[in-house]
């Protein structure tokens, strides 16, 4: 996972996204609220104003028809009292505010009142002109009826516009509600998709990488992530892998130091013993022969005394190298202590072991020990004791080899001696 | 020597009865509304042949009480006394048509209007109240009396609308200034018809407007209840039914 590409903190990104969604949804909610207010306002208007207005128009229509009725009564009645009563009602209704506030009705009422007042006065004197008055009255009466019809129709259809507006608003609200729900659903899908792509999928990659994480191995390739938190997690994982590798290296070094001689690099005695036990146990099961040997440099003290301890150390290092070069890869060798070395020759019978030991003695004798200052020391002789590894244990075999080594020393050094008793055993 | 016996203790039923008797009238009084009404102003408010209160305002008041769910007691009142009666709390509601004059607005509460009133001048043809020496009959305390006083007309003040006709018949007044509804009612009287009077509606704004019941200022919460009840009555069509019972024309 590389952080070279642009990344971002998920909290900011998702907060920004959520904020945007909220603004859009709040806008949709505001629109719906506006429509609801419009519905409420229209309903309130119908309830508070429309009702009284319809009632006013109905009463106006009723009064116009009543004027016509009183006019008819005045013109057909033979009773002066009745005519006066009709005229009184017409006069008073014509001046009532309910008629006066409607210009068309007020104008008609004024003409009607005047006509009927004149008619009443004339009929009081003589009823002969009744037909003429009726002829003059009819157009006005028709006009009154038509106005009453108009007014009542107006009352009937008064709520129509508001109700149509209400239906329109309700329809718009329905569409907007659906659109808002679809929008909210889309936003949720986008949100989940981004969450999956930008966060969850990289996290699954990190999880899989963690499962495969092993010390000393390269970290598996992590999926590319754009979210800062996931990027940081990947970086932490890389650091962890590097630390684990480093720790493994240190552990190996410590283990090597614990198992090997620091001067010669050969396994130390403790490690040699542990490995030799395992090896000999294996060889015994396989019925494979082995030879245990002890080698000691002859007159090594003289090197330290005549040259220096550092020269002695260098001789020991080069002896160890000769030992490694001479013995086979399957053989075990260690610095047993001082200038003494121990080894196990695996798969060797006595003859082969003796041959290998002789070759070692020969190689050491021929080796030219070149010091760091260019001085060359003559070859070192070595005394070697061998003991075959039969049914006896390792400790016993080493002890016998050590005895053979002493015998080699006693017999004049620079030789290989086989412990005969071991063979007999 | 007679033995003194302790008074017998009241049983539980006895205590309950005593409490009911003590609290009963008070609870009834608290629930009751006292309505001041005119008893001689047809067709708005009058006593019928059986002595029962009747008329447009009376029916409206009865419907209002029913809507309020309150028991109402009618007491006789005049327009002139109604303001003081309301202020002193002797009546809760003045169930009569009161135009909203400044004095009334200042002293009492006015309910939701229940009809629209105009006033008319009733006199011999050609005679106007503005003419010098014309005696104008008006009801004492009414908006018409206030208007006549402001115009400094010569007034003959009476206590009821019916008394206006009496003044005209007896020649103590030359004309009367009265609300439209009262004029319609009075002009049914043959004795007035015989006088061959002319009816002239007045266009003065002080004599035209929405008439309301008066409410005592001591119970401001009553106005809210009365207004709501009257609004329900108008919406339910009760207004128009009462209107039709007394007049062929719509006056609200």
Q: Are residues A193 and A341 in the same domain?
A: no
pLDDT (0 to 100) of residue A361: 95
B71 pLDDT above the threshold of 80 = yes
CA distance B99 to B208: 8
> Got the DSSP string for A261-316?
-TTT-SB-HHHHHHHHHHHHHHHHHHT--EEEEEEEETTHHHHHHHT-HHHHHHHH
CA end-to-end span of chain B: 81
Task: Indicate if A202 and A84 belong to the same structural domain.
Answer: yes
Same domain for A81 and A223, yes or no, is: yes
- Radius of gyration of chain A from its Cα atoms, rounded to whole angstroms: 62
CATH class of B119-207: alpha beta
| Chain A residues near residue B118 by CB distance under 8 angstroms | 92, 95-97
Q: Which pLDDT value is given to residue A421? A: 66
Paired residues of B119 in beta bridges: B179
Question: What was the pLDDT predicted at B11?
Answer: 46
Residue B46, φ and ψ in degrees, nearest 5: -160, 170
Q: What pLDDT is stored for residue A239 in this prediction?
A: 84
- Considering the domain architecture, whether residues A319 and A252 belong to the same structural domain is answered as no
For chain A, what is the mean pLDDT?
87
Every domain of chain B with CATH number 3.40.190.10 lies at 27-116+211-246, 119-207
Nearest 5 degrees, angle CA A85-CA A87-CA A88? Answer: 65
What tokens does B92 get?
């809760």
Residues in chain A with CB shorter than 8 Å from the CB of B183 are 88, 92
Q: Report the pLDDT value the prediction gives residue A422, as an integer from 0 to 100.
A: 53
Tell me the whole-structure pTM to 2 decimals: 0.58
Q: Residue B8: pLDDT above 70?
A: no
Mean pLDDT along residues B56-85: 95
Whether residue A58 is found in the same domain as residue A122: yes
Query: What is the average pLDDT across A330-358?
Result: 93
How many structural domains are present in chain A? Answer: 2
Of residues A59, A91, A60, A86, the one with CA closest to residue A75: A86
CATH number of the domain at A292, please.
Answer: 3.30.70.270
Query: Does residue A358 share a domain with residue A242?
Result: no
Kindly tell me if the per-residue pLDDT of B99 is higher than 80. yes
Residues A72, A207 share a domain: yes
Using alpha carbons, list the distances in angstroms from residue A179 to A22, A24, A31, A172, B20: 15, 12, 12, 10, 66
Looking at residue B10, its pLDDT comes to 42
Neighbours of B148 (CB within 10 A): 21
Average pLDDT, chain B: 88
CATH architecture of the domain with residue range B27-116+211-246: 3-Layer(aba) Sandwich (3.40)
**pLDDT above 90: residue A45:** no
Q: Count of residues for chain B?
A: 252
Same domain, A300 and A324: yes
CA angle A83, A85, A90 (to 5 degrees): 95
- CB A401, CB A295: distance < 8 Å: no
Segment A162-189, tens digit of pLDDT: 788 888 888 888 888 888 889 889 888 9
A51 vs B: CB within 8 A: yes
Does one domain contain both A125 and A207?
Answer: yes
Greater model confidence, A236 or A86: A86
Question: Greatest CA separation found in chain A?
Answer: 189
CB contact under 8 A, B116 and A96: yes
pLDDT cut 70: percent of chain B above it: 88
pLDDT at B154 over 80: yes
Q: Which of A9-18, A60-69, A416-425 has the lowest mean pLDDT?
A: A416-425
- The per-residue pLDDT for range A202-223, each reduced to its tens digit, is 888 878 877 877 766 666 666 6
Domain edge (last residue) among A223, A238, A259: A259
Q: Which residues of B touch A (CB under 8 A)?
A: 116, 118, 120, 180, 183-184, 187-188, 190, 193, 199-201, 203, 208-209, 234-235, 240, 248-252
Rounded Cα gap, residues B73 and B65, in angstroms = 10
Radius of gyration, alpha carbons of chain B: 23
When pLDDT is averaged across residues B164-183 and rounded to a whole number, the result is 94
- Domain of A358, in residue numbers: 263-424
For helices A51-76 and A80-94, angle between their N-to-C axes, nearest 10 degrees: 150
End of a domain among A242, A259, A276?
A: A259
């Amino acid at each position: 996972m590389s952080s070279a590409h642009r990344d971002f903190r998920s909290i900011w990104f998702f907060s920004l996204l959520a904020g945007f969604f909220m603004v859009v949804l709040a806008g949709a909610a505001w629109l719906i609220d506006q429509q609801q207010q419009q519905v409420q306002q229209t309903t309130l208007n119908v309830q508070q104003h429309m009702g009284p207005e319809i009632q006013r128009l109905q009463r106006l229509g009723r009064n116009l028809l009543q004027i016509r009725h009183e006019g008819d009564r005045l013109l057909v009645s033979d009773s002066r009292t009745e005519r006066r009563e009709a005229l009184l009602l017409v006069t008073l209704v014509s001046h009532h505010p309910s008629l006066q506030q409607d210009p068309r009705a007020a104008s008609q009422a004024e003409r009607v009142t005047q006509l009927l007042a004149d008619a009443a006065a004339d009929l009081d004197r003589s009823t002969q002109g009744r037909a003429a008055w009726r002829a003059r009255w009819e157009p006005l009466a028709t006009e009154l009826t038509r106005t009453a019809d108009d007014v009542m129709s107006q009352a009937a259809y008064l709520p129509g516009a508001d109700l149509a507006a209400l239906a329109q608003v309700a329809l718009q609200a329905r569409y907007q509600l659906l659109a808002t729900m679809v929008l909210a659903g889309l936003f949720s899908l986008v949100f989940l998709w981004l969450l999956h792509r930008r966060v969850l999928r990289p996290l699954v990659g990190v999880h899989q990488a963690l499962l495969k994480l092993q010390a000393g191995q390269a970290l598996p390739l992590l999926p590319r992530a754009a979210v800062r938190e996931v990027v940081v997690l990947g970086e932490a994982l890389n650091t962890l892998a590097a630390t684990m590798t480093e720790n493994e290296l240190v552990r190996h070094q410590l283990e090597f130091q614990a198992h090997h001689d620091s001067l010669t690099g050969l396994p130390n005695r403790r490690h040699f013993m542990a490995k030799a036990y395992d090896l000999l146990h294996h060889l015994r099961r396989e019925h494979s022969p082995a030879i245990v040997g002890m080698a000691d440099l002859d007159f090594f003290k003289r090197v330290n005394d005549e040259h220096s301890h550092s020269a002695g150390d260098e001789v020991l290092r080069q002896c160890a190298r000769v030992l490694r070069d001479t013995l086979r890869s399957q053989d075990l060798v260690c610095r047993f202590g001082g200038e003494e070395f121990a080894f196990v020759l695996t798969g060797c019978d006595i003859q082969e072991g003796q041959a290998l030991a002789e070759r070692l003695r020969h190689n050491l004798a021929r080796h030219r020990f070149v010091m760091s200052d260019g001085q060359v020391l003559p070859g070192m002789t070595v005394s070697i004791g061998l003991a075959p590894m039969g049914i006896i244990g390792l400790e016993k075999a080493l002890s016998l080899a050590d005895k053979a080594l002493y015998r080699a020393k006693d017999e004049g050094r620079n030789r290989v001696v086989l412990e005969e008793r071991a063979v007999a055993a | 020597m007679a033995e003194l016996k302790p008074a017998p203790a009241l049983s539980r039923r006895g205590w309950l009865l005593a409490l009911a008797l003590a609290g009963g009238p008070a609870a009834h009084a608290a629930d009751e509304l006292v309505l001041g009404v005119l008893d001689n102003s047809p067709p708005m408010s009058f006593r019928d042949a059986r002595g029962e209160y009747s008329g447009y305002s009376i029916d409206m008041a009865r419907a209002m009480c029913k809507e309020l769910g309150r028991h109402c007691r009618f007491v006789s009142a005049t327009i002139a006394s109604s303001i003081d009666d309301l202020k002193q709390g002797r009546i809760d509601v003045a169930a009569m048509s009161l135009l909203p004059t400044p004095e009334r607005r200042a002293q009492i509460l006015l309910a939701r209007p229940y009809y629209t009133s105009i006033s008319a001048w009733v006199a011999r043809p050609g005679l106007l109240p503005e003419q010098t020496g014309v005696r104008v009959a008006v009801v004492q305390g009414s908006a018409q009396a206030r208007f006549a006083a402001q115009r400094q007309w010569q007034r003959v003040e009476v206590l009821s609308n019916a008394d206006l006709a009496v003044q005209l018949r007896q020649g103590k007044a030359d004309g009367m200034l009265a609300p439209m509804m009262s004029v319609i009612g009075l002009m049914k009287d043959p004795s007035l018809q015989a006088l061959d009077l002319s009816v002239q509606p007045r266009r003065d704004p002080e004599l035209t407007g929405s008439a309301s019941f008066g409410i005592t200022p001591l119970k401001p919460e009553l106005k809210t209840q009365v207004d709501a009840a009257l609004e329900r009555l108008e919406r339910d069509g009760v207004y128009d039914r009462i209107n039709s019972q007394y007049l062929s024309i719509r006056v609200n």
